[in-house]
Amino acid sequence: MTIAYFDCYSGISGDMTLGALVDLGLKLTALRKALGVLHLPGYTLRTRRITRCGVSATKVDVVVRQAREPKRKFRDITKLIQRSSLPRLAKQRTLEAFRKLARAEAKVHQSSIENITFHEVGCTDAIVDITGTMLGLEMLGIQRVYASALPIGGGTARSHHGEYPVPAPATMELLKDVPLVPCDIQAELVTPTGAAIITTLAEQFGTFPEFRCTRIGYGAGTLEFPGKTNFLRIIIGEEEGAPVDHAYQKERLYILSTEIDDCNPEIFTYLFDRLFAKGCLDAHLTPIQMKKNRPGVTLEVLCSAQLLHALIDCIIRETTTFGVKVREVDRYCLRRKQASIRTDHGKVEVKEGYWGDELIRVTPEYSSCEALARSSGIPLLIIYNSAVKEIELTYFREKKQRKKAS
């Protein structure tokens, strides 16, 4: 299985990603032809070699011929992608990246994704960078993507709206739950386009995965810093090991555990609220019999590496325990995506579960059903069952009919 590790030691942007893929062997003529199905006029793709600090890299430029581009909303870009004949996976990933951008922008501007107008990220070069990256991965046969922690620059930059802090507000929304590392460079190292690409693709952030390296590509960024390359390095190779791993999302997580026998049980409700507010993935209590036959509980909390110390601090401060045990675990789970469906009572968010490329499970999001029940006055059970029925009709009826016909 071919996998790629994005070594984002200088950050990531759309042009850096395309440059690294071309450096790995992606043919520019083939990429131009593949991008032609977008029917997006007014640009040219060019490449050049750049050497910094003695290291050579590929720089890809999307040269836009139009002086002024049309303002594009999320729905405009969605139509552009959906109407194209892009390969299914590339189309799916491209739409997901722009959906992430739209949600981040909507959160920052306190708006809805339907009303968001893309400015910089809706320009032709951003569309080409994101779509070209998704196509390039398929053309190079890359099946899985991992990434390093992302360096955070500083200072300020200017956009259509005016001056903003670096990283940009929408970029920070995209980078929630992604491990970040400090950097002394006062510049934008992770662009919104780069953040959308890597958070859509990467299954895991952090340490280098176990695989046999076969090729290395370097993509150059536009900015130049004295004594630094400002390159993105993509390392590709073959993963060795369990042959079915590709069907699942594999995550390196941590379990925090402690045994407690002297804490008021009412405290645990508040503790769980605090743990989930901080971003823990799961938490539960198991009744146990402790020394001297005292009844107690085992508290177990599942979290990512970046939340490890914050959650240990929370457990120590909010309970009577004197210590927390930590163990590292691998979690294999279905790849998940968020979507929404329309029921007779309103819109409900759902969670899609993929085994490889096959959609095998869709479940209503409880919090979405609860919010709709509270706002409408309709019993929660009715709304939940309505969502389950709509899922069956929307996702699986056609699949069952095809199977029956065959």
Give one DSSP letter per residue of 359-376, joined into a string: EEEEEE-HHHHHHHHHHH
Of 102, 96, 100, 134, the closest CA to residue 118 belongs to: 102
Summarised one tens digit per residue, pLDDT across range 99-125 is 899 888 888 877 777 766 665 555 888
- Per-residue model confidence (pLDDT) at position 113: 74
Which amino acid does the sequence have at 123?
C
Mean pLDDT, range 370-395, rounded to an integer: 94
- Per-residue model confidence (pLDDT) at position 123: 84
pLDDT band at 391, cuts 50/70/90?
very high
Beta strand 180-182 with 150-152 is parallel
pLDDT band at 244, cuts 50/70/90?
very low
Q: Which domains does the chain have, with CATH numbers?
A: 2-246 (no CATH), 249-333 (3.30.70.1380), 335-405 (3.10.20)
Examine the pLDDT at 264 and tell me if it is beyond 60: yes
Examine the pLDDT at 8 and tell me if it is beyond 90: yes
179: number of Cβ within 10 Å: 17
Summarised one tens digit per residue, pLDDT across range 232-242 is 999 999 876 54
Give one DSSP letter per residue of 211-264, joined into a string: -EEEEEEEEE-S---TT---EEEEEEEE--S-TTGGGSEEEEEEEEEEEESSS-
Phi and psi for 346 in degrees, rounded to 5? 140, -175
Mean pLDDT, range 265-271, rounded to an integer: 95
Pair 102, 73: CB distance under 8 Å: no
